[in-house]
Structure 1
Amino acid sequence: LNPTHPLRERDFNGIEYTINHQGIEAGSSFFARLVQMLHETGYFVEITMVATTALLTALVSYWVFRRRERLIRRFGERAKLVYQSFENQQISAETASRRLEEIKSEVDGLVIRRRLGYTEGLYFLAFVEDMVKRIEYARSVSENFMELFSAFMEDDILTENEYLKLKQFLHTIRHKIPPDLYEQFSRKVESTYTIGRS
């Protein structure tokens, strides 16, 4: 050993610090000491296993949640598409009801196979059932209007009193049927009344 600098008293400060602080070097990190202590006591493995288990559980739960969310979104979009097709009069009420019943059956199958939770399935089925009821109600109201219109047209003349009753009935059902259907009925009443007056 050929030291280039002579030893001084301050060169021993680190050794004195280590002796006075139970073997901890000066400038040691708190976290490094904590990890060392956990290794020595055996808790490091325990904490690592708990953290790994929690992380894996969170990842699997997130995956299951996302999968169910995608299923619900896919079936929800299909149900909305059927309902919008009915509102736009692209399909009849019977066809819309049948398609919504098919969607409900598929969701029932997913719940039975446990690909979809029972609670989520119930909420979705209630959502679809609400659409079915609205479609059936609109169909019923439309049939009532057509029956009323046919009854008034038995004599092939639409009187002013009958015209006003039909307009009032249309006004009461306006928000219960699709807008296009309302416009169609309204035009039918107007044209029939106009033809009858001329």
Structure 2
Amino acid sequence: MKSNFPNRRFFSWFAFGLLIVLLGFIPVRIAVTFRSFPTPQAIFVLGGNFERTKFAGKFWQSRRDLDIWVSDFPQYLDQHRQILNKFGVLPQQLHLDGTATDTVTNFTSLVDDFTDDNLQHIYLITSDYHMRRSRVIATVVLGSRGVVVTPVSLASGRDEDESLVKVVRDFGRSLLWVVSGKTGAGLNPRLD
């Protein structure tokens, strides 16, 4: 009886090689995009905290030519709209998305919209404790499509960043999305 061992070994090396190529491809795309588009073209706000939205409104006031994109749960989108309207953001400059269910899907649900609008460099606004994980996800998800971010953190008063476990978990989920188009969000309804 013939063993499948060589086939298994080949598959393992092939998968490892594919991962290395994928991980090498993203930094190259990011470097090329940063060089071609050194100035951000839009503002992207991660929901979950209306203070981020207020901060984005103040930030936008010195960059009024930029559109603002907000990703949050659908029930909070009207509040985001009201906050940003108070800062003078015009309706045609505001893009609200309520399809995300967690931080990874904040990015995966909008990356195609960013590329469809030819946005290749965006400001990323979130809380300081949340920025490390958000940047990791952005690097993989947005970077795989040639979109780069310039991070802008809102001070939260927290002493510590999110756990390294969450960062590594969402790095893996982001890679899964790049390879398969699936984020794994449905596997655990408590993901944030």
Q: TM-score band (shorter)?
A: under 0.3
Normalising by the residue count of structure 1, what TM-score does the alignment of the two structures yield? 0.23
- The structure carrying a bigger helix percent of its residues is 1
- Quick one: higher RCO (CA 8 Å, sep 6+), 1 or 2? 2
